[in-house]
A and B are shown apart, each in its own frame.
Chain A
Amino acid sequence: MKRLGSCLTLAAAASILSLGSILPASAAWEPTRPVELIVPAGTGGGADQMARTIQGIITKHSLMKQPLVVINKSGGAGGEGFLDVKSANNNPHKIIITLSNLFTTPLATGIPFNWKDLTPVAMLALDEFVLWVNADKPYKTVKDYIDAVKAAPAGTIKMGGTGSKQEDQIITVAVEKAIGSKFTYIPYKGGGEVAVQLVGQHVDSTVNNPIEAVAQWRGGKVRPLCVFDSKPMAYDEQVADGKGWKDIPTCKSQGLDIEYVMLRGIFMGPKATKDQIEYYVELFKKVRATPEWQELMKSGAFNTTFMTGGDYAGWVGTEEKRHETLMKEAGFLAQGN
């Protein structure tokens, strides 16, 4: 009897083993109820637009069997959204689209959150930052503008940006350091508002994302001076004055050695399994292949780098360190951090 028992155990073990090797291929994970896509920002902003485009693409091309629902949780500079996904634990029906506030919000406010509390899924794109001035002003190049800033009494030149102690202000502080002069930074609620404040000459310059300022550029109201990336943007189609995004020089080539891009990426709750991550990676690969997505990338002049897995986690880790250094230098860290 003993032998028979061990035989049975063996057989059972073998069948479990074989089952184990078959399962991932035949019964990969799929959502069983509606998936929530959390946006840690308000309605109408860049992250929100991207999330709603994704929702539209998935609906239109039937990429998911279950619906995708976009939910804005913008409280505390996005902290509300991050904490929500963190506390979702192993709920695989909740994913979040992030921007730089993934790093800046916990550092500036001290809320109990770090990106390592989440599981990285995929980087969808990187958003560029461009230095803009009003088109009626005489500054044609970065040098013209920097000379004017240096010549003016400290603090009289106004830089407008989105939010406080977030990406726009971080770039502003970096520019201040590079040129050795001070701006007065004025925070506004959204990027579109910032662009209009520049057109109305209530501020002297901005570091708007391309999509936030493109309409005003096409209307001939604002002028781009340089892009804060390592290489010029890839889109050579004409936008305004016979120029395209590609014609905007990098800030580095203009003597302003600053690089900054913003993450547009997807994360999910802390205890996600491999199949679940794999499912979303495949989903976003399909999303990226649609013409609607490519249209969005073009209209916002995005950097279309795509990363998943270890590469992605590594990139996020490096960015976190960089943000910590930048924000520490600027004195933006919350007390106790």
Chain B
Amino acid sequence: MEEIANLFQGFAVALQPFNIAVMVLGIVLGVIIGVLPGLGGANGVAILLPLTFSMPPTSAIIMLSCIYWGALFGGAITSILFNIPGEPWSVATTFDGYPMAQQGKAAEALTAAFTSSFVGALFAVVMITLVAPLVAGFALRFGPAEKFAVYFLAFCSFVGLSKEPPFKTIAAMMIGFALAAVGLDSITGQLRLTFGSTELLNGFDFLIAVIGLFGLGEIFLTMEEGLRFQGGKAKIDLRVVLRTWMSLPQYWMTSLRSCVIGCWMGVTPAGATPASFMSYGIAKRVSKNGNNFGKGEIEGVIAPETAAHAAGTAALLPMLSLGVPGSPTAAVLLGGLLIWGLQPGPMLFVEQKEFVWGLIASMYLGNLVGLIIVLTCVPIFAAILRVPFSIIAPLILVLCAIGAYSVHNSTFDVVMMLVFGVIGYALKKCNYPLAPLVLAIVLGDKAEEAFRQSLLGSQGSLGIFFSNTLVSTIMILGLIALFWSVIQNGFTRLRTVAA
């Protein structure tokens, strides 16, 4: 029970007035960062890092991690209201969140998203508190083959469960893989598909693609449909929050499953993005409302948000105990730790007890403070949709352009964003799903890298993907997910034959 005593000491540290002030400030800054597409958690934390140098390390990390929580909360806002995910793991939230907003249920969607985020994060923090040392070692078992297996599972659970015609899904995914291949090939160190252009050295950034495909594409479509936006009709006040809360407990199974998926993905180095997609895909298949997914089903918001936050929080565990960041934002936090002379790694939990438990306590409090702040603002956020489309659309366009520019401070990216907007519009018109394309851009190069690293290690033998229990289990799960509809059809047929 030493952990519990340590945790209470941690609360004592986190509850000092200065630290609470820092916490609130961090959350507010974080939400602002999360709302501005393109700024993103990693950039935001990096920009604000110097602010914290004059603080004691514990206060500084509390502030930075609160910016991180704030950004995670904030990312859901633009996903739901404008179909513009600010972070890779918010993409899955748009699938049902945005349709809900269009149906005038923005407040419900926001409440569900924020609450699920909180539940996911809380679950992960409890896990960190209780089993930190046990779980940390698990990440060590992940070599390239295991990592590839996880990405494989993410792709499969998404594709196999898609309701779209399979060839359209595959076509969209292949475009995504091709875009992901542009830039530096990290295995050979050669440039690929850059055609001598210096702008393409960095490849296509996920954010640019997503701001264009989702955000702009959506605006173009709405313009075509006659400049109408449905959201304005809904009555919005704080009672909506309570009403939505009343309805949430019935989805406890989805929440629990998403928490587990999220924690597991967060502890492995795969991170929050596969977690959110996987959780969404599985919820769609398992839920009895599965057919409504993509049309504004609240469960479709709960599943990815819970998993993304559980993973985002759990990702801090390998960072602290092994020094491996599970996300870009965690990488910047890691840099911060080193600047304060704290060396993440196996010894951090032993040597810097006050710091570690202060941070863990601030995870509890920071998330709670964050939830309260964002929930009270739900009516304000949702009210944005009441502004006439002819006013809000240009504002979104400007925000998108600023977001795209700020990713790499490059005007070329703004042009790319426009191009992606046109592509997004065209694909939607032809009924091609955008999600597989985005999934492939986000995870394509990582999956390729892990695949080629594995084959380098095994000297070209594919057997490495079935060489131990861990990797084989994940691969087989992936294959089951991929052929799920075939398997299910087989079962139903068997049953009818038997009957």
- Chain A interface residues toward B at CB < 8 A: 42-44, 48-49, 52-53, 55-56, 59-60, 70-77, 79-80, 83, 108-111, 155-156, 158, 163-166, 184-190, 192-193, 195-197, 199-200, 202-203, 211, 214-216, 218-221, 292, 295-296, 299, 332, 334
Contacts and interface: CB of A to CB of B under 8 A. Distances in A.
A43 B53 contact: no
A136 B453 CA distance: 23
Contact of B323 (A73, A216, A295): A216
A190 B328 CA distance: 12
Nearest to A199: B140
16 contacts: A43-B46, A44-B325, A52-B336, A55-B50, A56-B49, A77-B184, A77-B189, A109-B191, A186-B457, A187-B189, A196-B323, A200-B141, A202-B143, A216-B323, A220-B346, A334-B190
Interface in B413-464: 449, 453, 456-457, 459
Given A73-B408, A186-B453, A215-B343, A109 B331 contact: no
Query: Sorted from nearest, which 8 A-B pairs have the closest CB atoms?
Result: A215-B345, A75-B202, A219-B346, A44-B331, A76-B201, A202-B143, A164-B189, A165-B189
B142 A200 contact: yes
Contacts of A80: 198, 201-202
A72 B379 CA distance: 37
Given A52-B49, A56-B339, A186-B456, 14 more contacts: A44-B325, A56-B49, A59-B50, A59-B53, A75-B202, A76-B191, A77-B189, A166-B189, A184-B459, A192-B323, A200-B143, A202-B143, A202-B457, A219-B346
Contacts of B269: 193
Interface string B201-240: 1110000000000000000000000000000000000000
A334 B53 CA distance: 42
Contacts of A200: 140-143
A109 B322 CA distance: 33
A111 B50 contact: no
Interface string B183-195: 1111111110010
Interface string B342-380: 011111100000000000000000000000000000000
B286 interface: no
B170 interface: no
B485 interface: no
Give the interface size class of chain B: 35 or more
A163 B459 contact: no
A49 B339 contact: yes
B318 to A, nearest CB: 8
A192 B334 contact: yes
A43 B189 contact: no
B183 A75 contact: yes
B345 A111 contact: no
Nearest to A184: B456
A191 B404 CA distance: 29
Contacts of A203: 457
B352 to A, nearest CB: 12
A72 B325 CA distance: 17
Contact of B338 (A59, A195, A299): A299
B139 interface: yes
A332 B189 CA distance: 9
A108 B437 CA distance: 31
Contacts of B198: 76, 79-80, 83, 111
Interface string B229-267: 000000000000000000000000000000000000000
Contacts of B194: 76
Given A56-B50, A192-B325, A164 B186 contact: yes
Contacts of A109: 184, 189-191
Contacts of A72: 46
B143 A197 contact: yes
B144 to A, nearest CB: 7
Contacts of B469: none
B144 A186 contact: yes
Interface string B314-335: 0000000011110010011011
Contacts of B322: 196, 199
Given A71-B409, A83-B198, A188 B142 contact: no
Contacts of B56: none
B42 interface: yes
B341 interface: yes
Contact of A219 (B339, B341, B347): B347
Contacts of B201: 75-76, 79-80, 83, 111
Contacts of B184: 75-77, 109
A66 B406 CA distance: 21
Contacts of A196: 139-140, 322-324
A229 to B, nearest CB: 22
Nearest to B141: A200
A299 B343 contact: yes
A44 B332 contact: yes
Nearest to B328: A43
A218 B201 CA distance: 38
Nearest to B322: A196
A48 B336 CA distance: 11
